[in-house]
Amino acid sequence: MYQEKYHQIERMLRACTGEEDVLLTTGGDHADLASTIAFRLAKKEKRPPQKIAADIAEKLAGNPDLGDIQVESAGPYVNFHFGPTLLAEAVREAVEPGYGSFPRRSSRVVLEHTSANPNGPLHVGHIRNTVIGDSLARAFRKAGYPLEVQYYLNDMGRQIAIVSWGFDHLEIPRREGEKEDHYVARVYIAANREIEKNPEITQEIDLLMQKVERGDPDTVKKFRKAVSLCLEGIRATLAALNVSHDRFVWESDFVRIGDVDRVIERVRRLPQAVEDETLWVDLSEFGFEKRYILRRSDGTSVYSTRDLAYHTWKGRNYDRMIDVLGADHKLIGAQLQVTLKLLGEKPPEIVFFEFVSLPEGSMSTRAGKFVSADELIEEVAGKAFEEVTTRRPDLPEEERCSIARSVAIAAIRYDIVKVSPEKSTVFDWKEALDFERQSGPYIQYAHARACSILEKAGEFEPAYHYETGHEIALARHLARFPAVIEQVVVELRPHLLAAYARDLADLFNAFYHYDPVLKSEGEIRNSRLTLVDAVRNTLKESLETLGIDALRSM
C-alpha cells in the first residue's frame, strides 16, 4: 500500500509541477509523505515557496485519484496524510502471514559472508561480518530473490600451512570437551611461537605451500583434515547464531580444476600485465600504485589469484554477486573489481564493514588475543538465564534455558546489526550484556507482550477503526515495513531494519500503556486486537529477517 501510494503521489506531483524529481520523502512526524519541491520551484518561478506549496496542495486536493489521502501545505512543505481507509488497509495487510515479502524475482544472487580463515574459532570481529551478511541474506530472500549463501574457505593459505605443520611437529593433544576450532587455534598459536623461536621453519612452511599447490596428495590430505576439523567448530558457532550457508567453496578447488591456471593465462594477455620474476598487473592507470601480484617467483598462486578465479566462476553463474568484507580488504577488493572488469568479467558488489577491536587493541588469532564468539554466547546466555529465572520462576528450567539462548542471540545479533557498518567499534562486555531499550530482547519482549494479549483475548472479529494518536502512529509505521525491506536490499544496509523494528516496538509499548485493549469494548476492542495482531506479525517478520527468534513468551 505504502509504496503504491508513494509512486502514485510522485506521479501526480510530476504531472502537477513538470519536475522530474519531486523530492518526495517520508514526512516524519509531520506527514506520511512530504515534498520540498516548492523550494526548488521558488527559485525558478521567483515566487515564495509558501505560495507555491499552497497552490500545489490546492491543485492536488481537487484530484479524485487521491482518494483517502489528504493533502495540505504547511509553510513551504506539501504534506500528505493517509486517511482512515488507507490505515485500515495497512493494518489489513500487516496481519497477513509473511507480511513484507515480495513476489519472486528472477535475478539470481550469490552472497558471500564470514569466510574466516579456518585456523581458529570465530571471534567478535568475524561475527560482525556474519551478522551483517546473514541479515542481508534474509532480507534478500524476503525481497523475493533466489539466493545462495556461500562461505569461501581459504584452505591453502599460509595460516593453514602453519596449522598443518603444527599438527605434524608439535605434540598437542586435544583437551577433554574442547571444541574443534579452539583446538586448532591452540595448535596455530603454538606453531607460530615455534616459528618465532626458529625462523628457519618458515622454509618448511613455504615447502608445504608449494606441495599443496602442486596437489601433493599427502599434503593436501593433511591440509583438508585440519581445515575440516576447524570448520566443524565454526559451523557449530554459526548454527548457534542462527546462521547457515548453502555452500562452502574450497579455495583449493580452483587450483585443482585448472581455473587458476586459466585465469593466469588470461591475465598474461592483458596489456596491463607485467612478467618479471613474478606476474603482476599494473593498475596505476586506475589509481592503484600497488602491484597486484598474481604469481609468486616460485610459481605458486596467491590469495588474489584464487579469488579472481572464484569470482569469475560466481559471475558466470549468478546475476548478482555480493561480498561482505572487512575494511582491511578495501584495497584488494577494489583491485579485484578492476581486474575482473579488464578481463571482461562481472565485478562483485562489496559491502565493507569497519573493524571491531578490544579495549586493549586489535584482535589477533595468531597472538591468541581475541574474544571468541562462543565465549560471548556463553556469557550472554548465562546472564540471560539469570534474568529469565528472576522474571519467570514459574517456568521449567528447560524452557528458561531455551528462552535464555534465544535472548542471548537476539542481544548479540541486534547489538551488531544496529550499528552502521562504516563505524569502527570497540567490543564492550557491559553493552553486550545489556538487554534494555535499544536491544534485541527489548523488541522480543514487545512481541511476546503482543502474543500474550492475543492469547488472553481469544477469538475476535477483525475491525479497523483507529482514532487515538498511538493507534494511528502504529498503523502508519506498520505501512512502511515492505518499503524498509526494499530499502535494505537496495542500499545493502541491514541496520535500517534494526532501527525500524525498534521504532515499532517503541510505538507499541507507548500504545500498550495508554490504550487498553482487553478492557475496551465492542469495535474499539476488536480494532485494537487487530492492531496488536498486526504489530505481532510485523515484529515477527522483522525479527526473523534479523535472524532473531520471535518468542511468544519470555
Partner RNA sequence: GGGUCUGUGGCUUAGCCAGGAUAGAGCGCCGGGCUUCUAACCCGGAUGUCGGGGGUUCGAAUCCCUCCAGGCCCGCCA
Q: What span, in angstroms and rounded, lies between the C-alpha atoms of 376 and 427?
A: 11
- Applying the rule CB under 7 A, the residues between 26 and 45 that interact with RNA are 27-31, 34, 36, 39-40, 42-43
Site for RNA in 146-205 (CB under 7 A): 154, 157-159
CB nearer to RNA: give 93 or 153.
Answer: 153
Asked if 128 is part of the footprint of RNA (rule: CB under 7 A), the reply reads: no
CB 414 within 8 A of CB 546: yes
- Residue 552's nearest CA partner among 457, 453, 477 is 453
Site string for RNA, 442-481 (x = CB under 7 A): x--x--xx-xxx--x-------------------------
Restricting to residues 271-310, name those near RNA by CB under 7 A: 277-278, 289-291, 293, 296-298, 302-304
Q: Phi/psi of residue 527, each to 5°?
A: -65, -45
- Footprint of RNA on residues 500-529 (CB under 7 A)? 506, 509-510, 512-513, 515-519
Letters for 394-413 (x = contact with RNA by CB under 7 A, - = none) are: ---------x---x------
Give min distance, CB of 176 to RNA, in A.
Answer: 31
Site for RNA in 232-251 (CB under 7 A): 251
Contact 240/409 with Cβ under 8 angstroms?
yes
**Residues in CB range of 433: below 8 A, 6 or more apart:** 379, 380, 383, 411
Note whether 75 binds RNA by CB under 7 A.
yes
Interacting positions 313-332 with RNA (CB under 7 A): 327-332
What is the closest distance, in whole angstroms, from the C-beta atom of residue 397 to RNA in the complex? 14
82 binds RNA (CB under 7 A): no
DSSP symbol at 284: G
Distance CA 394, CA 402 (A): 14
Shortest distance in whole angstroms from residue 171 CB to RNA: 26
Can residue 543 be called a binding residue for RNA (CB under 7 A)? Answer: no
Interface stretch with RNA, choices 82-90, 137-145, 340-348, 417-425 (CB under 7 A):
417-425
Site for RNA in 422-441 (CB under 7 A): 422-425, 431, 434-438, 441
Residue 203, all three cell numbers:
622454509
**Beta carbon nearer to RNA, 65 or 491:** 491
Could you tell me how many residues make up the chain?
554
Strands (E) located in 173-291 = 247-250, 273-275, 279-281
Does position 262 interact with RNA (CB under 7 A)? The reply is: no
Q: Exposure pattern of 475-502 as b/e (b: 16+ CB <10 Å)? A: bbbbbbbbbbbbbbbeebbbbbbbebbb
369 binds RNA (CB under 7 A): no
| SS3 of residue 82 by DSSP | strand
Please tell me the distance from the alpha carbon of residue 397 to that of residue 98, in angstroms, as a whole number: 32
Which residue, 243 or 403, has its beta carbon nearer to RNA?
403
